Amino acid sequence: MARGAKQLKVGLRVRDLDRSCALYLKLGFKQIPHEDQPDLRYLTFGHTWLILSDRFEHGYHNEDRAGAAKNGPLGSGFVLAVPTHDLDATYELWRRERLPVTLEPEDAFWARIFYGLDPDGYEVMFEQFHDVQG
């Protein structure tokens, strides 16, 4: 993709970069290596970027926001929606990682879904879209 290309990027401040990065890689994200930026991990999912930053080492642009991120809780009201081809396998991964589930798997109008919290308390909704017959 050319420099300056427009794409959605989401950033999460995390406590343990390696743990969070490994979890999102297991969920199907891809990593773009940047050894020159040790306090960041760049991941992609399709055309969307997920940028993980060390919540204690990576810089902040505002002291109030820095205090909020460092003292938590993180992510209240934020939900990262991640599509999956196998909700049951994703659910089992979540359980193996001993991460909290905030909504057990259920059918919604458009998909089968469940919600969980990642290692830093960010809420993630997983959705396996219903097959459309037509």
The per-residue pLDDT for range 82-133, each reduced to its tens digit, is 999 999 999 999 999 999 999 999 999 999 999 999 999 999 999 999 885 5
pLDDT of residue 5: 64
Are 97 and 89 spatial neighbours (Cβ–Cβ below 8 Å)? no
pLDDT in the model for residue 4: 55
Which residue blocks in the chain are alpha helix, DSSP H?
Answer: 17-26, 63-71, 87-96
Do 4 and 68 belong together in one domain? yes
* Range of the structural domain that residue 52 is part of: 1-72
Do 119 and 99 lie in a common domain? Answer: yes
A 10 A CB-CB count for 112 gives 17
Find out whether 78 and 59 touch, Cβ atoms under 8 Å: no
CATH of the domain at 30: 3.10.180.10
Query: What pLDDT was estimated at residue 65?
Result: 83
Per-residue model confidence as pLDDT tens digits over 21-65: 999 999 999 999 988 999 999 999 999 999 999 998 888 889 988
- Contact criterion met (CB below 8 Å) for 14 and 119: yes
Same domain, 3 and 56: yes
Band (pLDDT 50/70/90 cuts) for residue 7 is confident
